[in-house]
Structure 1
Amino acid sequence: MRFRRLGSSDLQVSEISLGSWLTYGVGVENDAARACLDKAFELGMNLIDTSNVYGRGAAEEFLGDALKDRPRDSYVLATKLFFPMDDTGENQGLSRQQVFKQIDDSLRRLRTDFVDLYQCHRYDQGTPLEETMDALSEIVRQGKVRYLGFSEWSPDQIRASLELSPPNEKFVSSQPEYSILWRVIEREVIALCAANGISQIVWSPLAQGVLTGKYKPGEPPPADTRMGNEMGWAMDRYRDDDVLEAAQRLVPIAKGLGISMAQLALAWVLREPNIASAIIGASRPEQVEDNAAASGIELDASILAAIDEAVADVVQVEPAAH
């Protein structure tokens, strides 16, 4: 496993990291989730990404229990806040009150005194940015958080935050969607972040599993897959046959290199120096093992061109809401 520095921080993070959206504490049995986590550590992964909203605390609680016997300095723990934690409409957003409440709740569930990376899961249009940045700076100074990040912020929102942040409390990471099929951050976000000491930790690098090649156009999804079960709502934009056909055009490229489709997709993401890590989701240790092997794979210009040609008619490059 190779490692990359996370922005302007002193954190070295594994090129492949383990996430917990739609999986741990939610859709995967705890024994299977623990097996995936153990395999990740065995293979050198050190970045574990979660959020307070995943299972409304369930994912953090699972990780708190699963990680409690591991040395705290042996992993980098990242979580997030923003989305509603209940149905009252009150426990959400990035207000000063919510920042203080949600970090304490996350630390309790995670059974730790601090998180290495605390991320704003989305931008809060209802709270002045100054209020959010002041609150985030305060929890850094309190020692509850080492570094700060954001997810799916626009270039203008990123620039505004940079103007308000104290030098030692600036964001060091961005967590956007990025894959062979979804390249929106290439327009402006990557260059803006690279110029300001911010790395990308990307989510959905396998396009919710579509880039593994297991979903075939014109065929129902396998029952034991995400698209085939109740969590398939997250994959609506990838269900079209033209997208699935484009993914199938990548199969011979991967075979020609002697690697899996997932490894091809992850290596493609990691070709970009500003990407510090690609987050994977896994329900079986074998998936973790296959994905981890993508670290260190380098794709030459001819392969990159072949990938671009294969997906040219379906790739998303324009900004879209999440």
Structure 2
Amino acid sequence: MHCFSIIEGTKEALERLQMDYVDVIFAHRPDPTIPMEEVVRAFNWVIEKGWAFYWGTSEWSAREIEEAFHVASKLNLIPPAAEQCEHHMFHRERPEKEYEPLYRKYDYGTTVFSGLAEGILTGKYNDGIPKDSRFGREPEHDEERASLASEEGQAKIKKVRELAVFAEKELNCKVSHLALAWLVIKPHTSTIILGASKPEQILDNLKALDVLPKLTPTVLEKIEEILATKPSSVVSCSAFA
């Protein structure tokens, strides 16, 4: 990801979108062979051209994000505004542990993808893999199918079953609504990307908003007891401070 790639990639993306600008443009996975200064300067240039209002990171480590902030501060350039990361009930180490110092220091926000763990948290794989599901109909998901069949995968399914019972009996909702609402209430969740393939799925996912008032401290504690996935401690990312 060098200066030319960022600038030309932005131009080509805007042409495909048939738009003059976007609100946020994300740098997906940094190239460790390119100096961070070059990356930050390129996105600063994109913003000054009016092609984007902000730039963000995607799947960057906390150390890389901290370095971008350090470079931006040193050169009086625009730092990243948000991180696009995987975050769900079974994937918590990076968004809840590694990034915690960034939240405190920069009030950094996250744009979450895979909030339903590729469909696992909808409960549709609780009794096997349906033929009409993504894992069932697309051959490139052999690895995911094998993962679900593993001991670790089956342990996740067991937890989803428990969460589904809890969601239905205690909260009067689907487990997918609970999983999304659980993400929404995280203090640094800025946006959740809903990977729906049908319009009705979007409407169903939005029912998670009705669950938010029900997520009391007691309810959240019960969820943590079922999951047992909460990160143990916070790491520091102040190498460039």
1:258 matches 2:165:
no
Do residues 152 (structure 1) and 65 (structure 2) align? no
Residues in 2 aligned to 1:237 and 1:130: alpha-carbon distance in whole angstroms:
41
Aligned to 2:19: 112
Partners of 1:243 and 1:224 in 2: how far apart? 21
Q: 1:315 to 1:241 in 2, by over 3 A?
A: farther
**Residue 188 of structure 1: how far off its partner (Å):** 2.9
Q: Deviations over 1:77-97 (max 9, x none)?
A: xxxxxxxxxxxxxxxxx1011
SS in 1 for 2:34: coil
Q: 1:297 Cα shift?
A: 2.8
Stretches of structure 2 lacking an aligned partner (at least 5 in a row) = 236-241
- 1:221 paired to 2:126: no
- In the alignment, is residue 241 of structure 1 matched against residue 178 of structure 2? no
Shift of 1:316: 10
Among candidates 178, 190, 213, match of residue 276 of structure 1: 190
Contact 1:176/1:202 (8 A) holds in 2: yes
Structure with the larger helix share: 2
- Tell me what 2:86 maps to: 177
Count how many residue pairs are aligned between Structure 1 and Structure 2. 224
State the shift of 1:168 in Å. Answer: 6.4
Deviations 1:102-140 (A, max 9, x none): 001101100001111100111211211111111111011
Show the 5 A alignment for 1:86-101: 94-101=1-8
Instruction: Judge conservation of contact 1:202–1:277 (CA < 8 Å) in 2.
Output: yes
Q: Is the 8 A contact 1:148 1:171 kept in 2?
A: yes
Does structure 2 conserve the Cα–Cα contact (< 8 Å) formed by 1:115 and 1:145?
Answer: yes
Residues 1:198 and 1:98: Cα distance change in structure 2 (over 3 Å): same
Note closer, same or farther for the CA distance 1:234–1:125 as it changes in structure 2 (3 Å cut): farther
- Which of 159, 177, 181 is residue 267 of structure 1 equivalent to? 181
- Name the larger-Rg structure: 2
- The code of the aligned residue for 1:248 comes to R
Partners of 2:44 and 2:77 within 8 A in 1: no
Candidates 302, 306, 309, aligned match of 2:222? 306
Distance verdict in 2 for CA 1:277–1:316, change over 3 Å: farther
Structure 1: gaps spanning 5 or more residues: 1-93
